[in-house]
Amino acid sequence: MATTFDQLVRQVRQQLLGFAMNQESVSFLTVAMLAGDTTFQVDGDSIANLSRGLVEIDDELILTKKWDQSSGTVTVMAGVNGRGYEGTTATTHAVNTLITSNPAFPKTRIKEAINQTIQCLYPELVVFASTEITKLAPVVEYALPADLSDVWYVTAQLTGPSQIWQPLPNWRYNPKADTTVFPSGKSLQVLDAVTPGRAIRIVYAKPPTLLVSGSDVFDVTTGYPDRYVDMVVFGTCMRLLPSLESARLQLQSVETTERAPLVPPQSAAKAMAMYAQLYQTRLAEEREQLFSDVPNYAMFQGS
């Protein structure tokens, strides 16, 4: 089943927080919230205490000032300045949207780490695409797409009914082509004899596209296969876990003070090392699979 950005965020949170040990306080909105609201209503029966600090509603972080348990009204710190806190965006929120008090790993930070992990998979793992050009008798150099980062191989359609695409051994990729002639600044010089009018197919590598909307489907948007999802989860956990280690330096709350003797120093670092090993193992597996699935069997052989 295809994995969306939102589903990927949930997988990461479950890895980091577990299924049963998450002690975050959660409530929900009882009245819809607008982007400019400086108060909001929560369900008083579902939360015993909503202290001053951060709350997360959807992807927005809000800095709160106080909570009136009798009315369920939460007041935002410094008016609209408390909305869209820590670089998030103030937006509307529907009735019954969940509210998390002092989230350990805000969704926005998880999404950032997911995209950083996807971005860093390249160039170890590339996305493949292809384009076709028609051989013109007097033309040797042809324009290439702007998203191309490297040419993987080039084939040409043979004449006759055979339907065979023959690998071309003599071509040169020019990544600094004259932009007045080739707008993308990238071109391919075909130095083999190809019958004019026949198609030339260029298979090329390009970087992945990052995820934006929560409904973005991983394989459709990034270009990577869905089997990469677990690797991205491992890499994202590896990036986020150091924040737990640095949190040990701030023993200002009762909870952190009580947990400090029970959770040994470097526990997060050890967990990070475990996820780093899982990530590196999967990366090596997928890199080997990549070259097996799409062999680079044609290359420039000219002088």
Cβ neighbours of residue 266 closer than 8 Å, sequence gap 6 or more: 245
State whether residue 229 is helix, strand or coil: helix
**Sequential DSSP letters for 124-191:** TS-EEEEEEEE--TT--EEE--TT--EEEEEEEEPSSTT--EEEP--EEEETT--TTTSTTS-EEEE-
**Span of 162-176, 225-239, 263-277 with lowest mean pLDDT:** 263-277
State whether residue 270 is helix, strand or coil: helix
Find residue 295's DSSP bridge partners: none
Q: Is the dihedral of CA 22, 25, 31, 37 positive or negative?
A: negative
Q: Is the dihedral of CA 182, 185, 186, 192 positive or negative?
A: positive
For the segment 80-100, what is each residue's pLDDT rounded down to a tens digit?
Answer: 999 999 999 999 999 999 999
Is the CATH number of domain 23-103 2.40.30? Answer: yes
Tokens of 138: 């007097």
- Above 90 in pLDDT, residue 107? yes
Q: Are 83 and 76 in contact (CB under 8 A)?
A: yes
Q: Are 38 and 76 in contact (CB under 8 A)?
A: yes
Domain ranges of the chain: 1-20+104-125+210-296, 23-103, 127-206
For the segment 53-90, what is each residue's pLDDT rounded down to a tens digit?
Answer: 999 999 999 999 999 888 899 999 999 999 999 999 99
